[in-house]
Amino acid sequence: MNSAAVFDFTCPVKTNSGNKALEHLPVELAGLNAVNPLIVANARAVGPKAVRTLMNAFGDSKMTLGLFEGVTEAADLGVVDHLKNICLEKKYDAFIALGGGKAADVAKVLNLAVSLKTPDARQLSPKTPVRKRLLPLVVVPTAGADGLETSGFAHLNRMIFSSEFLAPGLAVLDSRLARARKGILMAATGLAALGRAVESHVSADRNPFQKAYSFAAVRFVRENLPAAVADPGNKKAALAVLNAAAMSGCAFSNAASGRLHKLGQVFYELLGIPQGVIMGMCLSRVLEDGFREGSCDPAALLQPLAGDDAFARTPAGKRAEAALALLNRFLEELRGALGKDLPKSLSEAGVSGYRKEEILDVLGKDEDGHYLRGVVEGMAGGKRERKG
Amino acid sequence: MSIIKDVQSGKKPLKRAYVAIFLWFTGRAIQAAAKVDSEVKKEFEKLPEDFTFSLGCLPCGPWMVVGREKGVVKYLGGDSRGRPVQVRLAIKSLDAGFLILSFQESTALATARNRLITDGEIPQALAIIRILDIVEVYLLPKLIASLAVKRYPSWWSFGRKLGGRIGVYTRTLLGI
Amino acid sequence: MLLPDYYEFCCRVKIVAGHDALEKIPDLLIERGAKKPLVITDKGVAGAGLIDIVSRALGDRVQADLIADDVPPDSDLRVVNRLARLYRDNACDAIIAVGGGSVMDTAKGINIVVSENAEDLMAFSGVGALKRPLKPLVAVPTTAGTGSEVTQVAVIKDHEKHLKMAFGSYFLLPDISILDSRMTLTMPPFITAMTGMDAMSHAVEAYYCLQKNPLSDAHALSAVGMIYRHLPLVVKNPDDREGRLAMAVAACLAGIAFSNSMVGLVHNLGHATGSVCGVPHGLCMAILLPYGLEYNLHKMADVMAELLLPMAGEQVYLATPAEQRAQKVVSLIRGLNEDLHAITGGRHARCLQEIKDREGKPSVPRDVLPQIAAAALLDGASIYNPEDTDYEDNLMVLEAAWEGKPLDRSRVKKG
């Protein structure tokens, strides 16, 4: 604990996780004085079955639900404005984001626009002051969640909205929605959770409250991701990975935006590559560099990664190296299990030299740009890079 | 056409019927156990003369109401008919009620899993939970009952178990 | 780490911690649109000069000169109504509660009355009666123990009608909790010891009771380690600012853990002992904690064993065979009580018969144990205890705790 300065921590998110978690939604909403929720979903990403499962959970509740299934990766503030007008007219009093990524982003910004009754949502920007609690927002992450669902961040129109009031009040993690069709989807979720949790767990200004979340997230990924990837039908393992993702978002909301997050985010925003894929590629390097510079403390990772016995057996001076080695082995095994599905370099991920330049340009504007560009160059790999 | 569809939430008639039947059965079994088992009788005697409690599912039922009328414990049907209810045990959803009443999740576990909301004076609610535990031991075969309660009363005499079970079952089915 | 089939976890409180955390209050209030808080506290806290520290820290950016310093240790509905009137008459817009459990509960009660514009607080008792956020409530705990700065319940008595009303809602969680080392710096060693053990009992019980989940576990593990390390040091050396802050943080972590996984037999018997004999809660917790572990050991040994590493560190952990680790945890907690007994010159009682009142008379005579055992049947904590408890079980544990002998585990009834 760094007690030199005052620290603060908030996690506004309540977690409901497990079997039939969705079925408690009518009671949860009633407890928040909400009777007329709007479901915001990217139906193409989550599939019709997930939408049906969510709608069925309200069975026997005599409630009426609004359903907007049309979130796309291209959704922007224009869509939010359009939705806001309908919401104000129909008086929806809560929002439920089904699925991760853009659905959660749109729901968060829509909640902002509706709660503040913004005349034109297209004028919203990260500078818009948010001082009061918004309407109730529930997120229901599905396989493919990136962990940002539970955070106080929303990415829209290449802007980052950030406020603790944007974070959802409730995250519902239901076993039926946790399973992925493919192992790679699970791996992307797990690696994004791992990346953000690790970054928060090793940072110099971490506090014990944040550490509770990052500790549990890292341990869950380590214990469950391999099983979830090997068998995407393994409900229990998949739910644990989804839990890790939700926890990582809570830890991350309270940490300074780190290198891994920045790298994952820029590739996702510009090229649509899942954050976890990129974070998995550069996790080891970023940690090793941070360790060498003295800006992070990988030793803290050994207990959640290795378990109590192995942690206790490793002498204090060797814990950082042991944690890094363990992490490398863990990633190697994951790559081994997924083969070609999990790209090891940018060229394997199909990033052309031209697109890479674009990424480098954007990163150049970051205060840490020089370093981040170096990492991206190091990730290029493969033959295609030489050709392009 | 609006891009937002308004959808009416559906119904779950089968689950509802199952839960309703089991609540009815449990209600009558409590009434029976209050006559047959001395411990249940004692618990009820400590409660007020017109004490009423309910057990059921949020948000829309079904419910079971049991109360004392002039000191006699009676199953009072599916709604409290305007009687004040002192203790309400509410399961958070019909589906959770189904999990509990189909013995996929024991009462103790459901409480541990935060699926049960208890409203009312705590000492009275605890008495109700003890009564439900005893009734479960009578109604269920040992294998299932030992999952449903925290500690199966293996120290009960054979006579209490057998006699009680016959008494509770007969009275439950006959409604006396 | 175990993932339960279903769990819920919530702690929405914004936690601000540090040696000068109090100074952040004005900004936090202004952010929430409040500028005229009502400060409530008790005579003990005010007398110790803590309110002066709070007032200085608040400065003049918010108008915080309205201070009610007369919350009694056993607060009730009358106090709540009177202070709610004070709040309304002065058009306050937030509450700052400085103190322990009674002050926090009173503040929560006032907040319901003023936010819901309620005439009758009773109408909001029970679980789930509150449906919307209340006025901003800032909790400043002055004991590192109760954890009530992060709990969603309040118990308010009606002394006239002899009722004890419980309120439960996530909206009762304070908006902000301020953990500032200055608030506990002057706490005497004997009080520090028992409030610290109260926090320890929260963390340990949270780790083995039925609603445990990965997030409550992570909070509990971290709390157990911090308390075991810092408590004896702080009792020995009250001016240890770092230790004081660590204890405040640990008690808060423990509070978060237990309000999400609940507590069991230790609290069950502790509440009953407190209400029958009027002895301090923390002391009951300290004495009963080893017995709670022993009583549930046959069901939760593996789980309890996981507490050894954060408590004793790597060497003891590795030197203890896996099947003896739970038992080792029990003896470490007994050892901690012995240490606290020695450091406080015997004021920290190790068993129920050692608790004395001001005149030096025993507070818990042996013949009240049956009464305590019966009273415990009326307490809700039994629901979350892993093993079932009845009157005989309660009495058996109380007798052992009275004498200060380890529990004869062969006598524990198993299903």
Kindly list the averaged pLDDT for each block of 10 residues, start to end, along chain C of length 415.
90 95 95 94 95 95 93 90 95 96 94 90 82 94 90 88 83 95 95 96 95 94 97 96 96 95 92 92 96 96 97 96 97 97 96 93 96 91 88 96 96 88
What percentage of chain A carries pLDDT values higher than 90? 70
Q: Strand (E) positions, A251-322?
A: none
Identify the domain boundary among C148, C168, C183.
C183
Residue A100: pLDDT band (50, 70, 90) is confident
In a domain, C5, yes or no: no
Q: With an 8 Å Cβ cutoff, are C32 and A131 in contact?
A: yes
Q: Are C148 and B138 in contact (CB under 8 A)?
A: no
Q: What pLDDT was estimated at residue A386?
A: 40
Q: What pLDDT does residue C230 have?
A: 97
CA distance C102 to C108: 10
CATH number of the domain where residue C360 is located: 1.20.1090.10
B40-72: per-residue pLDDT in tens? 899 999 888 889 999 999 888 899 999 988 888
Residues C100 and C208 in one domain: no
In chain C, positions 233-272, which contact chain A (CB-CB < 8 Å)?
A: 242, 245-246, 249-250, 252-253, 256
Chain A CB within 8 Å of residue B1 CB: no
Same domain assignment for residues C275 and C234: yes
Residue of higher predicted confidence among A86 and B81:
A86
Q: Is residue B104 part of a domain?
A: yes
How many domains, in total, are found in chain C? 2
pLDDT top residue among A74 and B18: B18
Closest CA to A155 of A125, A183, A134: A125
Here the CATH number for the domain that contains residue C165 is 3.40.50.1970
Distance from the C192 Cα atom to the nearest Cα atom in chain A, whole angstroms = 20
**Given an 8 Å threshold on Cβ–Cβ distance, is B125 in contact with C415?**
no
Same domain for C313 and C285:
yes
List, for residues A307-363, the tens digit of each pLDDT value.
Answer: 999 999 999 999 999 999 999 999 999 999 999 899 999 999 999 888 999 999 999
Q: What is the pLDDT of residues A281-321, one digit of tens each?
A: 999 999 999 999 988 889 999 999 999 999 999 999 999 99
C321 — contact with chain A (CB < 8 Å)? no
**Structure tokens given for A189:** 């979720």
* pLDDT, tens digit (0-9, with 9 covering 90-100), for B120-150: 888 888 888 888 888 888 887 777 777 777 7
B4 in a domain, yes or no? no
Q: Does C246 lie in the same domain as C308?
A: yes
Query: C331 lies in which domain range?
Result: 189-411
Work out the angle at residue C396's Cα, subtended by the Cα atoms of residues B42 and C275, and round it to the nearest 5 degrees: 70
What is the structure's pLDDT at C14?
95
* Measured distance CA(C415)–CA(C398) in Å, rounded: 21
Q: What is the mean pLDDT of residues A273-280?
A: 93
Smallest Cα–Cα separation from A182: which of A140, A223, A221, A143? A143
B173: pLDDT strictly greater than 90: no
Q: What is the mean pLDDT of residues A170-198?
A: 92
Q: Measured between alpha carbons, how far is A261 from A269 in angstroms, rounded to an integer?
A: 12
Within the 150-189 window of chain A, which residues sit less than 8 Å (CB to CB) from chain C? 164, 169
Task: Answer whether A6 touches C (CB < 8 Å).
Answer: yes
Residue C322 has a CB neighbour count (10 Å cut-off) of: 12
The interface predicted TM-score of the complex, written ipTM, equals 0.93
pLDDT above 50 (res A384):
no
Residues C361 and C399 in one domain: yes
> What is the per-residue pLDDT for B8?
87
Of C132, C155, C183, the domain-final residue: C183
C6, part of any domain: no
Looking at residue A388, its pLDDT comes to 34
Domains along chain A with CATH numbers? 14-178 (3.40.50.1970), 185-387 (1.20.1090.10)
Predicted confidence at residue B145, as pLDDT, reads 78
- Chain B residue closest to C412 (CA)? B151
Both C385 and C282 in one domain: the answer is yes
Whether residues C156 and C230 fall in one domain: no
Specify if B49 maps to a domain: yes
Across the interface, of B111, B115, B152, the residue whose CB is closest to C383 is B111
Pick the range with the lowest mean pLDDT from A165-169, A371-375, B171-175: B171-175
- Asked, for residue B8, whether it belongs to a domain, the answer is no
Closest by CA position to A355, among listed A278, A267, A281:
A267
Same domain, residue pair C394 and C314: yes
Q: Among candidates A282, A100, A79, which has minimal Cα distance to A185?
A: A100
- pLDDT of amino acid A4: 59
- Write the CATH number for B128: 3.30.1050
What pLDDT shows up at residue A258? 86
| Residue of B85, B92, B113 best to disrupt the C interface, most CBs of C under 10 A | B113
Q: Decide if B167 is inside a domain.
A: yes
Residues 6+ apart with CB under 8 A from C353: C362, C364, C366, C402, C403, C404
Residues C143 and C212 in one domain: no
Closest partner residue to C31 among A14, A131, A308, by Cβ?
Answer: A131
Return the structure tokens found at C329: 């945890």
Please indicate whether, in this complex, the C-beta atoms of A3 and C218 are within 8 angstroms of each other. no
In this structure, the answer to whether residues C216 and C316 fall within a common structural domain is yes
Q: Which residues, other chains included, contact A293 with Cβ-Cβ below 8 Å and sequence gap of 6+?
A: none
Given a cut of 70, whether residue A1 has pLDDT beyond it is no
Whether C71 and C170 map to the same domain: the answer is yes
8 A C-beta contact, residue A194 and residue A279: yes
Task: Tell me what pLDDT residue A382 has.
Answer: 53
Supply the range of the domain harboring residue B130.
13-174
- Where among C127, C156, C183 does a domain terminate? C183
Question: Domain tally for chain B?
Answer: 1
The pLDDT > 70 percentage for chain B reads 97
Same domain, C222 and C261: yes
To the nearest whole percent, how much of chain A has pLDDT over 70?
Answer: 97
CA distance B12 to chain A (A): 6
